[in-house]
Amino acid sequence: MTTRSLADLRSAEAAPKAGGTQTTAAELRLRDLILSGELSPGMRISEPSLAERLNISRTPIRTAMARLEDEGLLELIPSGGYAVKAFTETEIRDAIEVRGTLEGLSVRLAAERGVSPGDIAAMRDCLQEIDQVLGGPDKSVDSLSSYVELNRQFHRMLMHLPGSAVVTRQIERASSLPFASPSGFLLAQASNAAAWRTLTVAQDQHWMVLAAIDGREGARAESIMREHARIALRNMQAVLHNQQVLDQIPGARLIRTPARR
């Protein structure tokens, strides 16, 4: 990417978003219905019923349903239409592994192709902000939310580093489920001291992968990123075996745990 492009990306994402199209509105509202549990796993949904419920015409609804099917939140059913999808622990584990593999590819390509000093500086600025969050005395939900947002920004910058639209698109697909994203299981663990210690390890890996990219060490960068994804797997295991914490995760009703089978 060109100098300062990652800084521009961060600024653009932090700016307030405009209202968007009817299709975007339909997509956001339908996703919220699914993740909140108002539409339960296995429930069949149709264009007419959703159009009436959301007060949006059927064409945007149809497009929104197709997009959420592409994300994996909906699945086509043989008789026609869509149903809300449920997920097993194995499927979530596989999604996290896929994301880690693709992020590893992204950082290896970035290291091999070279990254501008401006982009390295933008990423370093982001990591310094994370250091401030983790180094402060506040260990509240608000503080963890700040970490989650900064962590999201850092991972998005990594995704854009090699300048490959193909890689970016595939990582976005792999990260689209809330469970597979880099911070998918974090916010429910604000009161867990062990979770905060894990963030320190994750941040150290952030700095190491940035150093490997800057040093043109592609294989090392890829290896670190693959290992980094395993922290998300540890977070998943901790949450899935604690029903009280699990219920605080957006979309938790979509996860098939032994208690919910």
- Intervals of the chain under pLDDT 50: 2-4, 16-19
Pairing state between β 44-45 and 82-84: antiparallel
- State residue 8's pLDDT score: 77
Beta bridge partners of 255: 87
- State residue 54's pLDDT score: 92
Task: With 0.85 as the threshold, say if the pTM is over it.
Answer: no
In 92-149, where do the E strands start and end?
A: none
Helix (H) or strand (E) segment spanning residue 106: helix 89-113
Torsion-angle region of residue 44: left (phi > 0), alpha (psi -120 to 50) or beta?
Answer: beta
- Per-residue b or e along 98-114, where b marks 16 or more CB atoms closer than 10 Å to that residue's CB: bbbbbbbbbbbbbbeee
Q: Domains of the chain (ranges plus CATH)?
A: 12-85 (1.10.10.10), 88-251 (1.20.120.530)
CA end-to-end distance (rounded Å), the chain = 47
- State residue 258's pLDDT score: 58
